[in-house]
Chains A and B, each alone.
Chain A
Amino acid sequence: MSALVNLISYLRSKPNLLMGLFTLMLGVFVLFDAFATRHGAHFAGDKVVGFWAIFGFGGTIIMTKFMKWFAHEVLIRPLDFYEKKEGEE
């Protein structure tokens, strides 16, 4: 267990190394996709190399931005919102 902890501490102290490894990995994924055969593609997007990469990245950005905006505009309230309301009656 402590070996794991040490490993993590080490990695956290070397952010550039981490970033480098990560980018390398992403590149491998996209490349892999170019070679993977597609059976029974369901729709056009399936055939495009790297489609899911864009889907993942784009989806994350859009989802996060949208939810943050929506929460900020509509949803967010102070923590004691319900208690205050119920206390009033």
Chain B
Amino acid sequence: MMYVHPALIMIIGALLAPLTRGVVRKCVLVATPVIAFYIVTTMYSMTPGDYGVINYLGFELITSRIDKLALVFLHVFTLMAIIGAVYALHVEDSSQHTAGFLYVAGSLGTTLAGDYLTLFVFWELMAVASTFLVWARREKQSIAAGYRYLLMHTFGGLVLLAGIFLRYHEVGSMEFTAMLPEHAGVAEYLILLGFALNAAMVPLHAWLPDAYPEATVTGAVFMCAFTTKTAVYVLARGFAGFELLAIMGAVMTLYGVGYAVIENNARRILAYHIISQVGYMVCGIGIGTEMAVNGAVAHAYAHILYKALLFMGVGAVLEMAGTADLSKLGGLYKKMPVAMVFTIIGGIAISGFPLTSGFVSKSMVIAGAGNAHEIGLMLMLTLAAVGTFLSVGIKLPYFIWFGEDSGVEPKKKLPWNMVVAMGIAGFFCIFIGVVPGWLYKMLPFAVDYEPYSAYHLSETFQLLGFTALGFYVLRKKMVPKAKLNLDLDIFYRRALDGFMAFARNPISPVNEWVSELYRVVGYRIALGAAAIASRFDVSIIDGVVDGVAHKVRETGDYVRHAQTGKLQQYIAIAVSAFFLLVLLVANI
């Protein structure tokens, strides 16, 4: 049977979506990811190896490198694409569908890439396509957030490109393989930086809570799944065992959860939470043992599904009730029970309740840390789990569905497709918890872990139960207020202002000065040379242009202002940050 790259299917679907209408379009929207998913399942019967090798400009591009690690990610990505497509079936704006599918295509292509050049191409596709998902919301802050998002990601992409070039220069090959910490030099760290930005590793994380709450309801569902998890995949492939990742990952888990505890907007809570959960994955990769990496991958799989479920539920609230701010919501359990059920399923899954996917995946990472005798990391991760349950398992549902009745009324009924999508995701959250072997089979290494041990159950019960107690005790303190919390993005936003004030003054005058030079110097020569000019004029143009010389003398004001839009601010910081990077690079 002929092998077709699943990204190609997604691209075709993306192009077909705007060209079709009504029922036909809906069929296209569902069929595309289903076909892609099917292709992935057939890949399991193929022998692992490199396929689809293309020769381009003298480089050997490996478009499809198939092995267990890639396959498990492809599996969940395409499954998620189906869920996302179903969830978005009701959306009329076809640009969202196109952007979403192209985004998925980028993710699939990156996962299958066997060489850095292919990876880079699809990486950029992901960045551009997802920017459009943010812009598609068309609100003022969405447009601005989209620019910042685009800038960060393009910057990250270029850091990645610089690293790729340097590496090619040193090693002579574009092949994307695992790197050893001992051999990592500037090139490898640049590539790591590029990957880290997409994985929203602290301190390069600020774009995530900035942009995700501003995306469209359906767009956010797509976005939460792909960018970060694709980055997790490439980190797992290339940088397993780098101790830096283990530490940064643990830091991420606490950082994300900390902010989630104090945030007000439901989607922003979930966004910070992504940082936290990705922290588990990054930490597992950093530890590098088979169990830890297995855990990271399993966690990625489970996380995509329950995070999507949460975004879908909260998205439903946003769509139906018009707001996602916890301070404005409450008491919705009567009016939106279906959404509530699914959000709660997502919430307990993420918290790691027994019989849910979180229980069998997150604990594997923690156990991996323990087995590797990283007690400090293990405790940090467990603390983060406490915070997870607190913020997303209790606080989020409590203040939306229970708590004080805010009087918010849903304006319309929940569309059937959203319910179906949530149902699928919810099903898997439970299924994986009940039959963990199904997931474990797909993991890259053989699994030697039994989640349902008495001790583990006991530990989980205690943690969850007493966290709930803690919430109860502090519940008055936890009431969300409508305030903005600063994060690291203040640094780049602030610095831009300073830089702009500086740059605006020298730069545009320089441009004008150079133009002035023409007038002052060149014009005099022109007058002197006017004889030549007018001879040409008179003999050839003769009546075609009236009074050119006259008009020249009359020429008025040359002043032009370099108009600066806000964009220059953002650019300026990216450029200057890059220059700083260059100073490091220059010392090789």
Contact = CB atoms under 8 A, between A and B. Distances in A.
Contacts of B455: 36-39
Nearest to A81: B484
Given A39-B453, A55-B382, A64 B478 contact: yes
Given A35-B454, A68-B477, A89-B500, 7 more contacts: A43-B375, A56-B466, A57-B467, A60-B386, A61-B470, A74-B486, A81-B486
B463 A75 contact: no
Contact of B386 (A30, A63, A68): A63
A70 to B, nearest CB: 8
A56 B351 CA distance: 12
Contact of B493 (A9, A25, A77, A82): A82
B485 interface: yes
Interface in A1-50: 1-2, 4-5, 8-9, 12, 22, 25-26, 29-30, 32-33, 35-40, 42-43, 50
Given A29-B458, A78-B484, A71 B262 contact: yes
A23 to B, nearest CB: 9
B383 interface: yes
Contacts of B373: 42
B497 interface: yes
A36 B455 CA distance: 5
B473 to A, nearest CB: 7
Nearest to A50: B462
A63 B462 contact: no
A60 B470 contact: yes
Interface of A: 1-2, 4-5, 8-9, 12, 22, 25-26, 29-30, 32-33, 35-40, 42-43, 50-61, 63-68, 70-71, 74-79, 81-82, 85-86, 89
A2 B340 CA distance: 12
Contacts of A85: 493-494, 497
- On chain B, which size bracket covers the interface? 35 or more
Nearest to B259: A67
Contact of B465 (A5, A25, A51, A71): A25
Interface in B471-492: 471-474, 477-478, 482-487
Interface string B82-110: 00000000000000000000000000000
Nearest to B382: A55
Contact of A60 (B341, B471, B486): B471
Given A29-B461, A67-B258, A55 B386 contact: yes
Main secondary structure of the interface of B (DSSP, over half): helix
B162 interface: no
B427 interface: no
A68 B262 contact: yes
B457 interface: yes
Contacts of A52: 458-459, 462-463, 466
B493 A89 contact: no
B464 interface: yes
Nearest to A77: B484
B336 to A, nearest CB: 10
Given A75-B485, A81-B484, A60 B466 contact: yes
Most A C-beta atoms less than 10 A away, residue of B386, B455, B465: B465
A75 to B, nearest CB: 4
27 contacts: A4-B337, A4-B341, A5-B334, A8-B333, A22-B469, A33-B461, A36-B454, A36-B457, A37-B454, A51-B462, A52-B462, A52-B466, A56-B462, A59-B383, A59-B386, A60-B390, A60-B466, A60-B471, A64-B261, A64-B390, A64-B470, A64-B477, A67-B262, A70-B258, A76-B485, A81-B484, A89-B569
Nearest to B386: A59
Contact of B387 (A12, A57, A59): A59
B382 to A, nearest CB: 7
B485 A71 contact: yes
Contacts of B258: 63, 66-67, 70
B151 to A, nearest CB: 15
Nearest to B402: A12
Contacts of A12: 402
B145 to A, nearest CB: 10
B439 interface: no
Contact of A67 (B261, B370, B487, B501): B261
Contact of A9 (B259, B334, B387): B334
A51 B460 CA distance: 11
Nearest to B370: A42
